[in-house]
Structure 1
Amino acid sequence: MRFAPVAAALSLFLATTASVTSAGEREAEPRAAMLIAEGSAALEAGDVQAAIDSFEAALAVDPGYTPIFLDLAEAARRDGLQGKAIRYYREALARDPGNFAAISGEGEALVEKGAIEKAQRNLSRLESLCGESCPETVALKATIAAGPPARLAADTAEGGPASN
C-alpha cells in the first residue's frame, strides 16, 4: 500500500511520455497526398492557381493534415498574396507551435509585406528554438538581410500603400 501513490504517479508519467514520443507527424490521406503532389507539380510548373486549387481540394479531403497549410501559404506568396500566406502560416502554427517552416515562412511573408520588425521577432524565435545554423533560421536571416521587394521599397519611399 505504501507504493500505491508512487506506482500510480509512475504509470501516469509513463503513459504520457509514451503517447508523446509515439505521436509524430501522421501521413496524409492517400487522396489528399495525390492532390498535394499535383499541387506541388503545378506550383513547380508556375501554375499557381492550379496549385492552390489542388491544395484546397487536399485540405477538404484531409483537414487535419497541417502541412497542407504550408503548401497553401507558399502558393499564396507566389501569387503575391502575403496576407493570405501569413494567415495560412498562423493556422499551421496554431496546430503545431514549434513548426520551424511555418515560423520561417511567416517571417519571409512579413518581410515581403514590409513588416521587418515582426519578421525579426520570428527570427529571434527561430534562433531560440533551433539555433543559428538551422536551415529555416538561415533562410529567414537572408530574406531579412535582402529586405522587402524592390516594388514595395519604392512604394514606401514615395509614401504609397506600404507606408499606411
Structure 2
Amino acid sequence: MRFTTISVAIALVALSVSTSLYGQRADDQIDPRSMTLLQQGRAAQAAGDLGGAIDSLETALVVDPRNAEAFIVLGDIARARSLPGKAIRYYRDALTLDPNDTVAMRGEGEALVQKGAIDKANEVLANVREICGSGSCPEGDRLAAAIAKGPPPAANATAANDAATPEEAQ
C-alpha cells in the first residue's frame, strides 16, 4: 500500500512537470500578445495617433520587455516629436537586446544627427557598415544620407550654444 501511494505521487509530479513544460514557449519567442500590441501601435502611428501608438507600444513592452521592435518604433516616434535624447535611449534599449540590430543603429545615428552629434553618428555609421560587411547595406545608406544632410537648424543653434564659452554666451 505504501508503494502505491508513492508511485501515484511520483506519477502526478511527472505529469504536472511534463504538461507545464509543454505549454511554455521557447525563450527566444516574443509573447504573441506583445506582437499584437506592436502591430496596433504601428497602425496608430500610421494613422497619426502618436499618443495611442505610445500607449500600445509601452503596453507591448510590459507584456514582453524583450520586444526590441517596440523600442525601435518608440524611438521613431520620439524622433518625430523632436525628442532625440529620448529616441537615443529607446534605440539603445533595443540594442541591449540585439547589439547587431542595424535598424536600431540607424535610428540611433539619425537621432544623434538630429541632436547635432555628427561625430558620434559617424561612429554609429562605421559600426553599421562593419556589421553589413561588403554586401548591400540599406540602413547604412540611409544613415549616411542623414549625416550628409546634417542636423536641423535648431540643432545647429543648440550645438553652437553648447560650444560657446560662458563669457561668449553673456
> Whose Rg is larger?
2
- Which residue number in structure 1 is paired with residue 153 of structure 2? 150
Counterpart of 1:130 (choices 125, 129, 132) is: 132
- Which residue number in structure 2 is paired with residue 81 of structure 1? 83
- Which residue number in structure 1 is paired with residue 97 of structure 2? 95
Over the matched positions of the two proteins, sequence identity in percent amounts to 48
- Which residue number in structure 1 is paired with residue 30 of structure 2? 28
Contact 1:48-1:79 at 8 Å conserved across structures: no
Distance 1:65 1:152 in 2: 31
Aligned length: 138
Contact 2:66-2:97 at 8 Å conserved across structures: no
Q: Deviations over 1:58-107 (max 9, x none)?
A: 11111122221111111111122111110111111112111111111100
CA deviation after TM superposition for structure 1 residue 33, in Å: 1.8
Once the two structures are overlaid, the 10-residue window that deviates more, 137-146 or 57-66, is 57-66
Counterpart of 1:55 (choices 49, 54, 57) is: 57
RMSD: 2.2
CA deviation after TM superposition for structure 1 residue 26, in Å: 4.7
Distance 2:158 2:69 in 1: 33
TM-score normalised by the chain length of structure 2: 0.73
- Structure 1 unmatched runs, 5+: 1-24
- Which residue number in structure 2 is paired with residue 72 of structure 1? 74
